[in-house]
Chain A
C-alpha cells in the first residue's frame, strides 16, 4: 500500500447511535445490539421480544466475514479494505491536497477537504484497476502539471511557479477560468474538465466523511424504534400541512 496514511476522521464501525430531535425515537446502543443479537441467535431465543432479551444475550456486531472469499466478486463487506496499490507520488499528492482545499476550504462548520483525506481518496480512485479510473489517472496527473504550467505562464514572471505556491488570489484567477466548461475561454476546455473531475471526487470524498455528514446535518443511519412523519418545520417548509 501507499506510504500515505489512510486518513480517517472516524474509525468507529459499530452501531452509530445518535440522539436527535424531531423524527423517530432512537434506540439506545444496547437495545439495537439486542435486536441484532436476537436475530443472530435464531429461533432458540425466539420467544424474546426485543425488550425482553436478557442483557447477556447481547453480542457485538460482526467485525469480519470469514465466509467471504476475499475476491472482487465476494469481498469482506463487514471489514472492507482497498486491495490495490496507490499510484500518485508524494509531490503529486501535495499538489492535489492544495487543489482540494481550493475547492473545499475550511470554514466555521467543517474542516477543509484535504484535512479529511480527500486527496488520499483521489489517489485511491485513480489507482483502481478499472478502465474509467485509469482514464481519470491520466486526467488528474496531466491536469496537475497543466495547472503548474498555467501558473508559471501567468504569474511566474519568467521563473517556474507551482500552482500550490501561488497566492489564493492567483489560484482563484486560474480556477475562475476552468471552474465551468461552458464558460471557459478557448483553450481552457481540458483544464475545465480536469477541474470538474477533481471537484467531483473531492465532493464525494469530503461529504462522505463524518465531518462532511455532520456539516450537512445528515442524521440518519441510526436505528429507530418507530418511524414518524417529517417534523412540523419540514411540513411548513414544503407547504404541506
Chain B
C-alpha cells in the first residue's frame, strides 16, 4: 500500500496529519482517486504505542531530550523542534522554534487532543476590534463541518451556551468524564471567589464507543461506500479505559489520530494510495501555469521522483506548505507558486503561552484514589472577559483560555524535585514523609491565547541553505506586539490569583514584563498562517475553500490558510475547514471546473 499504484491520480495530498488525513478521507469516500505523499515513515499506533510502559523502564526515567522533547514515550518519530538533517534559521533577534513530526499522521499522533471550536467572533475579529483580518467565511459556514468532524473523530465535552464558545448540535458530543479532585476544587474556588467559569473541556477522546450506524449515516447520506468504511472504522475503536497518556498514541484507538481514525477508512475505499518517506520539494506546473503534480525525494533511495494529478492539495503543515510554494519557482511564478500577492510565508502566527505553578495545601495528604482519568484535562476555563475587553478595560485585544492540571499522577522524571523550599531541604526519613504529604498538591496553570497577525512575523527561503534532501530551507522573522505581551502578563497574574485564592503558594516566577512571561514563538506548536485566505486576490493567497486564487487546481488545507489564530487550539478547525474544502474539490472535479 505504501507505493504509487497508478500513473495518474485525481488528487495528490501532501501530508497525512489533521488536514491531509481529513482531505484523503473525504475525497476517497467521495470516489476520488487520491495519492498521499508523506515525508516521514509509516507508523501504526495499534502496534507501536507503548501502552502502560513505566518511566522506570525508559532511558533517564523518560525525561525529555533534544531528540524526544516531550519525553521518551511521546509518540513523535523523527520530529521535534529539531529534525535531523533538516535545519531552519532565524533572522537576527528572532527566536522561533519550528516543530515538525516526520511520520504518518504527523502531529496528530502526539497532540493534546484539545478540540475547541472557533466561535462567531473568531471568524470576524477585525469587524469587532479593527485588528488583523476577518475570515472570508463565517462561523455559520463552518459550523456543519465542526459537527461532522466531532461526530467522526469522537469528542467529549458539554454544551454550556457561553459567549463565543459554540455549542455542538445535539447528539454530537460524547459525555465528558467526571472531574478529578483538584479540578473540582479549582472549579469551586474560581466560581466562589473569582467569577471564572470552569467547565468540561472538549477533547478528542472517546468516553463511549461510537454509534457506528447512526453516525455513518448522518455523515454520509446516500453514500453506501462511505457509510460502510466509516462504520467499520468506528466499530474497531474502543472507548477510553482511563490509563496511559494520550501523547504516546493509543493502541485501542480511543483518541483521535489520523492513522487510526482517518487513514484506515480512506484506505478501505480502495481510492487511496500512500507513499511514505517521500519529501516533497515543489509543486510542478504545466505550460498554462496549472499544477500538474509534485516533485519529491524518495528518502530511501535519495532519488527524486515525480507524481502527477489533476489537483494538488498541500497539507504539509502551515510552514512546510509555504516552504513548498516558495520553492516552486517557474517562469510563470518566479517568486514562488501562486505568490502574486507576495503573501506566501507572511502573517505567520503561534499561540500566546504563559504558565504558573502552585502548591495547594488543601490537596496535601489526599486519600489514595485513581486520578489518571482521560490523561488530559477534564475541565478548562474558556475566555470569560469578552465584556471587559469590549469596554476597553484590558490592555490587550483578544482572549485566552486556561488549561490546568496536576494531582496524583504517575510519578515521572523530576518527581518532588521542587520540594526543598517547602521543607527547608528535608532529607532522610523526613523527606520520605514530606513526599507522601505533598504528593498530588502541585498544580500548573497554562494560558493559551490569541495572537494577532502582524507584518513582522514571516518566513522566507534562506538563500544560503539546503537540507539533506537538497531542498532550500526556511528563515524566520518574528516580533510580538504589545497585545500578546500584555496578554501573557495578564495570564500569569490571573493564575497567581487563582492559586492564592485556593490558599496556595505560587511556585514559579510571575513576571511584570510580558516579554519574560511569554513562551517562545513556535513553542506552543500552534503555528498557522503564511498562506492566508481572504476575499481579495491581492490581499490573500487562497479563497474561502482553500483554493489558490492564481492556480485553481492548487489547494492549501492545513493551518496555513488561517487568517487569525483564536485561543481555540487549531487542530479541530483545521479538520473542519479541510473537510469543507474537500467537499468543494469534489464538486469542482465533478463539474470539471478544475483539473
Closest to B233 in A: A43
Given contacts A35-B252, A175-B427, contact A67 B179 (CB under 8 A): no
Mask, B53-94, CB within 8 Å of A = 1, is: 111111111000111100011000111100110000000000
Q: State how many angstroms separate the Cβ of A48 from the closest Cβ of chain B.
A: 8
Q: Does A179 make an interface contact (CB < 8 A)? A: yes
B242, B366, B425: the one contacting A24 at CB < 8 Å is: B242
In the complex the two chains form, what is the Cα distance from A82 to B412 in whole Å? Answer: 17
Q: Hey, which chain A residues are within 8 Å of B240, CB to CB?
A: 227
B59, B207, B241, B374: the one contacting A80 at CB < 8 Å is: B59
Is the Cβ of A78 less than 8 Å from the Cβ of B53? yes
Restricting to B235-274, which residues have a CB under 8 Å from any CB of A?
Answer: 235-238, 240-244, 248, 251-253, 264, 268
> Interface centre among B177, B365, B415, by most A CB within 10 Å?
B415
Mask, B508-537, CB within 8 Å of A = 1, is: 000000000000000000000000000000
Q: Does A40 make an interface contact (CB < 8 A)? A: yes
Given contacts A121-B61, A207-B435, contact A183 B425 (CB under 8 A): yes
Closest to B102 in A: A73
Is the Cβ of B58 less than 8 Å from the Cβ of A80? yes
Is the Cβ of B65 less than 8 Å from the Cβ of A77? no
A74, A172, A180: the one contacting B424 at CB < 8 Å is: A180
Is the Cβ of A80 less than 8 Å from the Cβ of B236? no
Given contacts A35-B238, A208-B412, A231-B369, contact A238 B184 (CB under 8 A): yes
Is the Cβ of B184 less than 8 Å from the Cβ of A104? no
Closest to A200 in B: B417
Restricting to B30-49, which residues have a CB under 8 Å from any CB of A?
Answer: 41-44, 46-49
Q: Does A145 make an interface contact (CB < 8 A)? A: no
Is the Cβ of A73 less than 8 Å from the Cβ of B84? yes
| Contact count band on A | 35 or more
Is the Cβ of B185 less than 8 Å from the Cβ of A128? no
Closest to A217 in B: B368
> Interface centre among B61, B363, B369, by most A CB within 10 Å?
B369
Q: State how many angstroms separate the Cβ of B301 from the closest Cβ of chain A.
A: 17
Given contacts A39-B236, A124-B59, A237-B366, contact A78 B184 (CB under 8 A): no
Restricting to B214-243, which residues have a CB under 8 Å from any CB of A?
Answer: 232-233, 235-238, 240-243
Given contacts A77-B50, A200-B417, A238-B185, contact A221 B252 (CB under 8 A): no
29 A-B pairs (CB sep. < 8 Å)? A8-B57, A22-B370, A35-B238, A43-B264, A46-B236, A62-B48, A65-B47, A73-B68, A103-B428, A104-B428, A104-B431, A107-B432, A179-B426, A200-B417, A204-B61, A210-B56, A213-B411, A216-B411, A216-B439, A220-B408, A220-B410, A221-B243, A224-B242, A227-B178, A230-B369, A233-B367, A235-B181, A238-B185, A238-B362
Q: Using A24-B242, A220-B370 as known contacts, list a sample of 18 further A-B pairs with CB atoms less than 8 Å apart, ordered by residue number in A.
A: A20-B370, A35-B252, A39-B251, A46-B232, A72-B65, A75-B72, A80-B72, A104-B428, A109-B432, A124-B60, A179-B427, A183-B425, A203-B435, A208-B55, A208-B61, A221-B52, A231-B367, A237-B362
